[in-house]
Amino acid sequence: MDWKSNMTHWLKHLPLEDPLRIVLQNEPNPEDCFCKNLEFGTAGIRGRMGPGTNRMNIYTVRKVTAGLAKYMMEQGQDAIKRGVVIAHDCRHLSQEFAMESAKIFGMYGIRSFLFKDLRPTPVLSFAVRYLSAYSGIMITASHNPPDYNGLKMYGPDGAQLPLRAADRLADIIQTVESECLLEPPHEKELQQQGFITYIGKQIDNAYLDSLAAIRLNKKVQKDLRIVFTPLHGTAMHHVRKGLNAAGFYNVTLVKEQMYADPDFPTVESPNPEDHATFELAIQYGEESDADILLATDPDADRLGVAVKNSSGEYVVLTGNQLGALMLHYLLKQKSLPRNGAIIKTIVTSELGKAITSDFSVRTLDTLTGFKFIAEKIDEFERTEEFKFLFGYEESCGYLIGDFVREKDAIQSVVFVAEMAAYYKKQGKSLYDVLLDLFEQYGYFQESVQSLKLERKKGLDQIGRIMNAFRTEPPSRTLVLEDYLARESIHVPSGTKTPIDLPKANVLKFKFANDSWLCIRPSGTESKCKFYFGVKGKSIADSRGKLLKLEKEVMDKVESLRDYMGTGK
């Protein structure tokens, strides 16, 4: 159906009292609401809330959940018997969406273990494993703006669904009848029948007990002065409990941001990658002379950190920098197995690989997305070829203990606090230690730039930009890694070698002197992302190289856009 037919169908079947009717009548762009179905991305669906097939609402949630229910039925009785865990964050309608999902599962005879109150994403991942459930659903839009929500799906290992399962699920969702025609039973009826079971403190306590396993140096002094903000999200309870259990009590909370609020009123974006997000935390830090500032995103899977530099000013560390610090501390403190391995993504800094080689530890690369890191952990368990030590990605996502199979900001807070306390005893801040790493391994520096192109014409432009770089690599390219063709090409000689990673529309260019560029369309937004990495002899040298590389690439992108038209 075209968008007008879709809208007519909705208006015909929406209950007269449904508030979405009124919203739809005042919708300035109904075509965008109904022009397509919300796309099933790397982990599920995500989008703006509102009426229509291309928006997040109870009807699109019902349809996607029905698809997962049918997928579980296809897997057999064991999947149905084990059931699904459902959690939600603090966003608008998250609790309602979680209940709609539970009701749909009950309609298909599948039991739901439902968190009645909001929970962090890593606790959902932990709960799937703890309860031996077959699947999990997390209602969240992570760090997106307030008018967004989403639904992420997890498999029996507590990780986001792997590619094959996700592709099959996407196909099944397309076979589900119209979302407007799905009418699940009432909550009380399903609860009486045993299809909805509420869970909570038992899971929380088990998760918090598991945090003890990630502590490497329990004798560190606990006088560390910490400022913490959950950015109006879900992390407050678990972070406070985790820090206290580890002996850290000198914690100042950013009061304006400590309570859950779906509008995130004090920040432009609730993303700890964004340095502006730390504005209030820095004020608190200056008032309390804090050693370290910690910020988690709304669903508590990402952690941002700020520390004092040599001038006493707070500096927000990048995800790459914090990941390198965590990795180096872990390798120094941990008893390392002979087959230890760390896992990072292809867009994560090469500083990590330089560090691991110094400890005779293997570094494995995956595609962008923590699901691929979790998939490797599962592979390690099956083959016993490697022992998982640490996983991370440049976008502030880290995992220390594999009792969770998703990036985990709560684990990371406890681990980083211990690390900062350890170095404080030596008279060093984490910034001092970072400079030591640069001096030892090279001054690595990275950046990301995004090109946002809405509507179909914009998406066509992204495709053309990818094709232009694929057919005409930058002149200094030594190696082109084409993940769509799954081959690495040594450009001077033309020699090709296979890439043993899943197919993806991603290009990575490697230049001389350890510089590189990676280009990929976003899996969750209408963006094309450009990742840059360089290695210099000093901070000034690496900054200069980074700016030069950025300009060279983005000038080419702009010239391509001028040639193709702006797409606006």
Q: Could you read off the pLDDT of 33-46 as tens digits, one per residue?
A: 999 999 887 789 99
Based on the fold, state whether residues 213 and 281 are members of the same structural domain: yes
Based on the fold, state whether residues 178 and 280 are members of the same structural domain: no
- Dump pLDDT digits (tens) for 52-82: 999 999 999 999 999 999 999 999 999 999 9
3-state SS record for 525-550:
CCEEEEEEEEEECCHHHHHHHHHHHH
Indicate the residue type of 10: W
Element (H, E) at 308: strand 303-308
Placement of tokens 């190289």 in the chain? 545
pLDDT number for residue 461:
82
Based on the fold, state whether residues 194 and 271 are members of the same structural domain: no
Based on the fold, state whether residues 119 and 228 are members of the same structural domain: no
Based on the fold, state whether residues 266 and 335 are members of the same structural domain: yes
Pick from 36, 40, 73, 39: which is nearest to 52 by CA? 36
Query: Model-level pTM greater than 0.85?
Result: yes
CATH number at residue 74: 3.40.120.10
- State whether the Cα torsion 519-522-527-531 is positive or negative: negative
Based on the fold, state whether residues 311 and 391 are members of the same structural domain: yes
Alpha carbon of 309 to those of 275, 316, 431: distances in Å?
15, 10, 6
pLDDT number for residue 568:
42
DSSP secondary structure string for all residues of 419-460: HHHHHHHTT--HHHHHHHHHHHH-EEEEEEEEEE--HHHHHH
- State whether the Cα torsion 557-317-141-123 is positive or negative: positive
CATH number at residue 485: 3.30.310.50
Tell me what the mean pLDDT of segment 447-474 comes to.
Answer: 84
For residue 230, give the DSSP letter. Answer: -
For residue 295, give the DSSP letter. Answer: E
* Interstrand relation of 251-253 and 226-229 (parallel, antiparallel or unpaired): parallel
Tell me what the mean pLDDT of segment 210-238 comes to.
Answer: 94
Based on the fold, state whether residues 219 and 229 are members of the same structural domain: yes
Q: Which of 199, 231, 260 is the last residue of a domain?
A: 199
Q: How many angstroms separate the CA atoms of 443 and 354, rounded?
A: 11
Tell me what the mean pLDDT of segment 14-19 comes to.
Answer: 90
Residue tagged active-site, from 142, 349, 515, 542:
142
Decide if pLDDT at 247 tops 60: yes
Query: Of 208-222, 412-426, 552-566, which one has max mean pLDDT?
Result: 412-426
For residue 162, give the DSSP letter. Answer: P
Going along 43-103, which residue ranges are E strands? 44-48, 84-88
373: how many CB neighbours lie within 10 A of its CB? 28
Tell me what the mean pLDDT of segment 105-123 comes to.
Answer: 97
HSE at residue 37, side-chain half, CA atoms within 13 A, is 21
pLDDT number for residue 347:
97
Label residues 456-467 b or e (16+ Cβ within 10 Å = b).
eebeebbeebbe
Residue 7 is part of which domain span? 3-199
Q: How confident is the model at residue 525 (pLDDT cuts 50, 70, 90)?
A: low
Based on the fold, state whether residues 468 and 425 are members of the same structural domain: no
Question: SS3 of 45, please?
Answer: strand
Decide if pLDDT at 564 tops 80: no
Q: Which of 168, 199, 230 is the last residue of a domain?
A: 199
- Dump pLDDT digits (tens) for 402-443: 999 999 999 999 999 999 999 999 999 999 999 999 999 999
- Dump pLDDT digits (tens) for 23-32: 998 889 999 9
pLDDT number for residue 67:
96
Catalytic annotation on 142? yes
pLDDT number for residue 457:
63
Report the number of distinct structural domains present in the chain.
Answer: 3
Return phi, psi of residue 213, to 5°.
-70, -20
pLDDT number for residue 567:
44
pLDDT number for residue 170:
93
Average pLDDT, the chain: 94
Based on the fold, state whether residues 382 and 475 are members of the same structural domain: no
Based on the fold, state whether residues 390 and 473 are members of the same structural domain: no
Q: Which of 199, 233, 250 is the last residue of a domain?
A: 199
Based on the fold, state whether residues 394 and 428 are members of the same structural domain: yes
Tell me what the mean pLDDT of segment 290-317 comes to.
Answer: 97
Pick from 304, 346, 350: which is nearest to 327 by CA? 350
Based on the fold, state whether residues 430 and 522 are members of the same structural domain: no
Decide if pLDDT at 455 tops 70: no
